[in-house]
């Protein structure tokens, strides 16, 4: 597992000019895999602002509700997951099955 502090420093140094942090990588070094399938789907379909019930929340994460079908969102998420190492995929599967 990569060291957390250096990764955090690199992320801070890459902050965007609008003062919002860029999205983390979707590989094993990011935190996409820390979230269950349902949350990942809802974040991509509806966006963060809707999920937290705060229409003023500023984010660079696009909303795909009117762009992609549910099946397309699921396919994109499945592709991202397919790029993770087997151990990370298994941990994500366990989380989605209600395990720890």
Q: In the chain, where are the structural domains located? A: 31-96
Helices marked H in 3-52 — which ranges? 4-13, 37-46, 48-51
Tell me: pLDDT of 2 over 50.
no
For position 16, what pLDDT does the model report?
Answer: 54
Beta-carbon contacts of 26 under 8 Å, excluding residues fewer than 6 positions away, are 32, 80, 83
Q: What is the pLDDT of residues 75-95, one digit of tens each?
A: 999 999 999 999 999 999 999
- Sign of torsion, CA 20 24 26 31? negative
Q: Dig out the tokens for 16 from the structure.
A: 């965007």
Q: What is the pLDDT of residues 13-58, one digit of tens each?
A: 455 556 676 677 888 888 888 899 999 999 999 998 998 999 898 8
């Amino acid at each position: 597992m990569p060291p957390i502090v250096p990764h955090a420093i690199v992320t801070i140094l890459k902050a965007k000019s609008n003062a919002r942090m860029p999205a983390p990588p979707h590989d094993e070094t990011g935190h996409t895999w820390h979230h269950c399938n349902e949350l990942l789907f809802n974040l991509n379909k509806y966006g963060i602002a809707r999920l937290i019930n705060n229409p003023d929340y500023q984010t660079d994460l696009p909303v795909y509700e009117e762009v992609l079908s549910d099946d397309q969102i699921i396919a994109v998420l499945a592709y991202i997951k397919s790029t993770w190492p087997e151990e990370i995929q298994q941990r994500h599967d366990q989380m989605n099955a209600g395990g720890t």
